[in-house]
Structure 1
Amino acid sequence: MKTVKIKLLIVVLLFLVSSSTSYSQDENKRPKYITVTTGHWNMDYENFDKDKWIAVEKEFLDNVTKKNEHLLGSFVYLHRYTPDNSEVIFVNAYDSWEAIDKANKRNGELVKAHWPDEAKRKAYFKKKDAYYSVNHSDEIYAPIGKAKQLKPEDANKELIWLVVKSHFAFPEDGSKEEFDSLTNEYVDNVIKKNDKVKGYFQHGHAWGSDKTEFLRVFAVESMEDLDQLGKTNGDLFKAYKSDETERKEFGKKMEKYFTPIHGDFIYTSVPELSK
């Protein structure tokens, strides 16, 4: 596979003070845990064809993933603008911690049921695994606060996904109650009123390399919509809190929960490979 040179796009997003998936609209039915596996393309794979890759992965999706009752959802995202163009992101959603182990066991059962012949089974996975490097990493996150769920008609589209990775500062004068109140207020009065935001999700660290991680995930239809995201959020926030002093006070309260460091990652969803 040849590396495609992409012109760097700098997206300035002014969150908070200025600025997967389709689950039920019922907040109580959202997944409890989300696993994120960051895989990597085999960059030496010759004559890569995206449609053929999707067809290979879809055989596993249709015969294993979609039949696994312990798996609430499964999604695939491709690098668009990130530091590593080899990234392939695999996301799975579960309703409990125990379901993660149960789903893995069930996958094994379903694999043997669909490919009972060992030779054919090995041949399929050799073909499937050839697309990827042996290197990967795993993280587990837990949904936090409110979300803006994708509508069914949007869940089947190829969307642009912005992942903003921030880090908690754990202030001594902070509390979970205040943090939840602030973020929920912002989601209700800004994010949910921004028509360009098709979906929005917040995830905190549950297991992995960095307990400070806090992810905000935005789904939009185009890069043009992404460019306007910060300005539109800022305008909506000003409309909600017209008093500048109130806006600054809100921003000051929110900012204390995070370090000054954050990173932005942009991916494209692959709707053909979604459960």
Structure 2
Amino acid sequence: MKNCKQYLLLLLIAICATGSLQAQEEEKRPEFLVVTTMHWNMDQEDYDFDDWKALEKEYLDKVVMKNELIAGASFFMHQFTEDNSELLYVQVFNSWNDIHAAAERSNELAKEAWPDEEARNAFFKKQGAFYSMQHSDEIYATMDGAKALSEMPTKDMTLYLQKRHFAFPEDGSMKEWEELNKAYQENIVHKNEYIKGYYPNRHYYGADRTEFLEAFYVDSLTDLDKMLDRLGELPEEAWPDEASRKEMGEKMSKYYTGIHSDYIYTYVSGLSK
């Protein structure tokens, strides 16, 4: 993954506010992501991936797919992160009120799916046995500039997440940020053929108010390497003059701290809404 650090520095972070970067006719996007970091129950001896997937598929079909307040939901499994026991469950909501209301609606749908209380409790006990009690939640606000997946994936994909942090420069402005970010997204992110999906998100409720989260969907680890290479090539195509590239990089860099972390997950096909 050569040139990763050098060229990903060109990715502009956003000031902690929702900017209008696209034309008003852009289709309205969901407003919030709830990212739950869960952990496998490492003490379970009879763990079977197919059994886990079948249980989650049953819950997806009977509850999540019927819950009109959940705009989307997906599972992502550890591939290259600091903790091999973790997996992410990401839910998408159209509004803040939907987050709480969706939980109540899911409880109603579960009772409809398993009207017998004993059977319902047995299902959730079996489902819950796959996970430890440890989990954490972060809520992110979605941002403009996404490169949406053209369709729901029918196979597992590689998800590359990069977390960086806002710097809040005194000499910065929303106008400058909007212009730089729009130029970068149009010329680099959207023209990178290896990026099948790109979703920028900012902190809304959680531990770190400076956090900026970018999600890149690619077909494989091999394509991730190619994606990073293209991130190095496309700036030269968009701004052939070296001085112009340097000027843009300097302007963009003041909007973030320069500290970032990287994570690679596997998108689990067949368990998404």
TM-score (norm 2): 0.91
**C-alpha distance 81-259 of structure 1, shift in aligned 2 (>3 A):** same
Cα deviation, 1:87-124, whole Å, max 9, x if unaligned, reads 11000111110111111110011011111111111100
Any idea what SS the aligned residue of 2:251 has? helix
Partner of 1:33: 32
Q: How many residues align?
A: 260
Gaps of 5+ in 2: 13-24
Partner of 1:77: 76
Partner of 2:186: 188
Q: C-alpha root-mean-square deviation of aligned residues, in Å? A: 1.8
Distance 1:238 1:138 in 2: 39
Distance 2:179 2:136 in 1: 33
Distance 1:270 1:76 in 2: 6
Any idea what SS the aligned residue of 1:216 has? strand
Any idea what SS the aligned residue of 1:136 has? strand
Does residue 234 of structure 1 match 2:227?
Answer: no
In the alignment, is the contact (CA less than 8 A) between 2:2 and 2:228 conserved in 1?
no
In the alignment, is the contact (CA less than 8 A) between 1:17 and 1:247 conserved in 2?
no
Any idea what SS the aligned residue of 1:67 has? coil
Cα deviation, 1:123-160, whole Å, max 9, x if unaligned, reads 000000000000000000011220101111x6222110
Greater Cα offset, 45-54 or 115-124: 45-54
**C-alpha distance 249-230 of structure 1, shift in aligned 2 (>3 A):** same
Does residue 61 of structure 1 match 2:77?
Answer: no
Partner of 2:17: none
Shift of 1:187: 1.3
In the alignment, is the contact (CA less than 8 A) between 1:148 and 1:198 conserved in 2?
yes
**C-alpha distance 77-172 of structure 1, shift in aligned 2 (>3 A):** same
Partner of 1:87: 86
Partner of 2:121: 122
Distance 2:267 2:204 in 1: 24
Partner of 1:167: 165
**C-alpha distance 130-72 of structure 1, shift in aligned 2 (>3 A):** same
Does residue 17 of structure 1 match 2:10?
Answer: yes
**C-alpha distance 273-73 of structure 1, shift in aligned 2 (>3 A):** same
Distance 1:244 1:192 in 2: 22
In the alignment, is the contact (CA less than 8 A) between 1:162 and 1:266 conserved in 2?
yes
In the alignment, is the contact (CA less than 8 A) between 2:57 and 2:270 conserved in 1?
yes
In the alignment, is the contact (CA less than 8 A) between 1:11 and 1:227 conserved in 2?
no
**C-alpha distance 10-266 of structure 1, shift in aligned 2 (>3 A):** farther
Q: Which amino acid aligns with 2:263?
A: F
Cα deviation, 1:243-275, whole Å, max 9, x if unaligned, reads 111111111111111112100000000111100
Gaps of 5+ in 1: 1-8, 20-25
In the alignment, is the contact (CA less than 8 A) between 1:18 and 1:230 conserved in 2?
no
Partner of 1:248: 246
Shift of 1:176: 2.6
In the alignment, is the contact (CA less than 8 A) between 2:2 and 2:229 conserved in 1?
no
In the alignment, is the contact (CA less than 8 A) between 1:18 and 1:234 conserved in 2?
no
